[in-house]
Amino acid sequence: PEPPPVSEALQGDDLKALLHRQSRQVPPFVAECAFGYHQHVGQFEFPKFLHPEELRDASGKRPTEEGYTTSTLWVPTTLEEYKLVCNGTPPTPMMLAFWQTKSQHFDKVVLYKVGKFYEIFFFDAIICNRVCDLKWMNAKKEPHVGFPEVALHTHATKLVEAGYKVVVVEQVETVDEAMAAAGKKCAGV
């Protein structure tokens, strides 16, 4: 028989009770992501591939299917696929790099360095908002939080102590180098 959709398997208002009840049907990190999605879906927009009923691992398996790999996430591989699942909006180069990282580390909180700040998006942002008390960055309608680089140890420690695995992605080129690689000039140059 077809496994139940993740959104049907994850009903309830209490995260701890939900995780305990569903731990045999859905991996705990996936259950927490679905719970966060349902708590914030009216406040934020999520790409279609992050909707609980659409969630799949890199091989295309759903969380309720045998052989599902919690550490991977199916993400689009072409700009056209991204446009289809992201309300017609193509991702920025930074978000493409974020999704490439997240596709291999879905069950970890990804702290993505941009300049002198760490940016956290979607499910990871929901977790960091709750665990680290980080405030929403409301420039866009997507879950997004961040903190200055000097606070990395503090927030990474809070996440690890709360039971999460953390991936820290460092910037390897300067803004000037990135702009030059893209064939653009920086403001003031």
Question: Up-side HSE of residue 26: CA atoms within 13 Å toward CB?
Answer: 30
CB contact at 8 A, 112 and 106: no
Q: What is the pTM of this model?
A: 0.79
Give the contacts of 129 (CB within 8 A, at least 6 positions apart): 135, 136, 143, 145
Q: List per-residue pLDDT tens for the chain, 189 residues long.
A: 444 444 444 445 555 555 555 555 788 889 899 999 999 988 898 999 999 999 999 999 999 899 999 999 999 988 888 877 777 777 888 888 899 999 999 999 999 999 999 999 999 999 999 999 999 997 678 899 999 999 999 999 999 999 999 999 997 766 566 656 655 543 333
